[in-house]
Structure 1
Amino acid sequence: MGRQAAAQQLRTATPEIIEAYRAALGRLGSPLVSREDIWRQCRHQAQNIVAECAQALEAGQHAETPGVGEYSRLLGAHRVVQRVPVSESVRAAEVLWQAMQGAVAEAVDRVQAEQRLAATQTVTTAFRAAAGSRLYQGIRGYEEAQRPPAPEVREQDPGVPADAVDAVDAANAQALDLLTLRERQILEAVRAGLTNRLIGRRFEISEATVKRHLHNAYRKLGAGSRVQALNKAFPGQG
C-alpha cells in the first residue's frame, strides 16, 4: 500500500468521476453539457486534470501536462463562438472538485496512515494548480476573442504621432516601477495559475491580504481584471 497504489486507484475511478461530473453539470443546467462537442472538450480537460492529480499523488508533486496552456487558450476563444459564458468554466472547476471527493478519499486511504494528510494536500494543490492554469489561459483566450481588433498604427498616419507607441510603453514601464516587490510576486503567482488561497499559503498571508495587493496592483497598472493586469505586467510573455 502506498502512493503508487493510491494513484492507480484514482486513475481507475476516472470514468466514475467524469460520469458524476457530467450529471452534476446537467443538474445545474450548464451549457457545457448541452451539446456533445462542447461536452467532449469539457470532458477532455476534466480527464487531464484528474490525471495530473493522480500523477502528483504518485510523485509527490504536481507536473503540468504539456500543451495545456495553448489548448486552454484556444478553447477559451472557442467558447465565444459556442456562446458559453466564461463563468461556466469557473463553476465547472468547482463541480469537478466536488465530483472527485469520494474517489480522492478512497485513493488516499491506500496511503500509509501517517502520510494521508500530506497525500490529501498534494492532490488538493495539484487540482488547484491544474484547474487554475487552465482557467487563466481559457479566460485569456475568451477575452482576446471578444476584443475588437486594434487598428494598425502607422508612423506615416498624420493622425497618430510617430512616438505614440513609445509613449504608451513608457507609461506602462512607469506603472510597473510603482509596483512593490510583494505585488510583483503575487502577480507572478497569478500568472502561474495559483488561486488567491494558494497564493496566501505560498507567502503565508491571508486571502484578504492577497486581494488587497492585487487591488493595489490593478490600480497602479490601470487594469480592471487579472488578465488585463498580467498583460500589462508581462507584455509579450503570454
Structure 2
Amino acid sequence: MSREAAAQQLRTATAAIIEAYRAGLGRLGSPLVSREDIWRQCRHQAQNIVAECAQALEAGKYAEPPGVGEYTRLLGAHRVVQQVPVSESVRAVEVLWQAMQGAIGQAVAAVRPEERLAATQTVGAAFRASTGSRLYQGIRGYEEARQPLGQPLGQPLAAETAERSAEAPAHEQVLDLLTLRERQILEAVRDGLTNRLIGRRLEISEATVKRHLHNAYRKLGASSRVQALNKAFPAGI
C-alpha cells in the first residue's frame, strides 16, 4: 500500500481515535470533558492534530498549517476564563497519543515493509511538532491572560503565591525527593513545554532533559509525564 492510502486509513480512523481520546480523558476526570463547549474545542484540536499526522505520513514530512499558533494562543487565554489548569493540556497530549496508537500501527503496517520504520518516525515527529507548537502557544496565551496589566509575564500572582505557600508542607515532602534540576524540569513539564523547549529554557541538551526526567520518574514511582505531574503537583498545584 502507498503512503497516500496509509494516510487515508489514518484519517478514516479519526472518529474512533476521538472516541478513545474522550474516554481516556474521562477516566482521568479531566475538566476538558466536563462541559460540552470545552470538549468541543478540545475535540477540534485533536482532530486537527490527527489530520496533520496523516498529512505528514502522506508527504513524508510535517508542515504546520497557517493560523494554528494564533488560534491556540487565543484558546490558551480562554482556558483561564474556563478555569481549566494548563496542566490539563499536557495530560491531554499523552492521552491523545495513546488513543492514536492502534490506528497508527494499522496504517504503518499497510505501508511497504522497507518504509515502515520511516513512516513510524514521520508520524511520531509530526505528532511531537504539532502538539509541541500548540502547547507552547497555548501556554503563552494562558500566562498572558492571567497577568494583570503592567505585571511582567511569568511572574506569579500574589494570591497564587500565598495559596502555594499554604499548601507547601505536603507538597514539599514530595519535591524534596528531587534535585533542583529535576524539580525545574518537572515544573517546565507542568507548564506544557516539550523536552526540546525545556532544554532551550534551561540551556541544556534534550538528552540531558530526558535523563533528569527518567531520574525524577524513578524517584516518584512514575512511568509517564502524567503520573509524575500528579505525584509532584497534586491537585494541579
In which range does the TM-score fall when normalised by the shorter chain? 0.5 to 0.7
The superposition leaves residues 105-156 of structure 1 with CA deviations (integer Å, 9 ceiling, x where unpaired) of 00001110011000000000000000000000000000000011018xxxxx
The superposition leaves residues 49-95 of structure 1 with CA deviations (integer Å, 9 ceiling, x where unpaired) of 00000000000000112110000000000000000000000110010
Decide whether the 8 Å contact of 1:199 with 1:210 is kept in 2. no
Aligned equivalent of 1:22: 22
TM norm structure 1: 0.66
Offset at 1:207?
A: 2.0
Aligned equivalent of 1:43: 43
| Residue correspondence of structure 1 range 222-233 to structure 2 within 5 A | none
Please state whether the residue corresponding to 1:61 is helix, strand or coil.
coil
| Residue correspondence of structure 1 range 51-200 to structure 2 within 5 A | 51-150=51-150, 195-196=194-195
d(CA) in 2 for partners of 1:117 and 1:194?
27
d(CA) in 1 for partners of 2:64 and 2:95?
21
d(CA) in 1 for partners of 2:99 and 2:52?
16
Offset at 1:199?
A: 9.1
Give unpaired runs (5+ residues) of structure 2: 152-191, 200-204, 213-237
TM norm structure 2: 0.66
The superposition leaves residues 145-197 of structure 1 with CA deviations (integer Å, 9 ceiling, x where unpaired) of 0011018xxxxxxxxxxxxxxxxxxxxxxxxxxxxxxxxxxxxxxxxx98326
Residues 134/206 of structure 1: CA separation in 2 closer, same or farther (3 Å cut): closer
Q: Percent identity?
A: 78
Aligned equivalent of 1:31: 31
Decide whether the 8 Å contact of 1:56 with 1:123 is kept in 2. yes
Offset at 1:208?
A: 0.8
The structure having more radius of gyration, on CA atoms, is 1
* Paired residues, number: 167
The residue type equivalent to 1:121 in the other structure is Q
Give unpaired runs (5+ residues) of structure 1: 152-192, 213-238
Decide whether the 8 Å contact of 2:135 with 2:193 is kept in 1. no
d(CA) in 1 for partners of 2:39 and 2:93?
14
The residue type equivalent to 2:194 in the other structure is T
Please state whether the residue corresponding to 1:65 is helix, strand or coil.
coil
Offset at 1:98?
A: 0.4
The residue type equivalent to 1:98 in the other structure is Q
Please state whether the residue corresponding to 1:95 is helix, strand or coil.
helix
**Structure 1 residue ranges (4+ consecutive) displaced by more than 3 angstroms after TM superposition:** 197-200, 209-212
Residues 53/84 of structure 1: CA separation in 2 closer, same or farther (3 Å cut): same
Decide whether the 8 Å contact of 1:10 with 1:107 is kept in 2. yes
d(CA) in 1 for partners of 2:20 and 2:103?
11
Aligned equivalent of 1:220: none
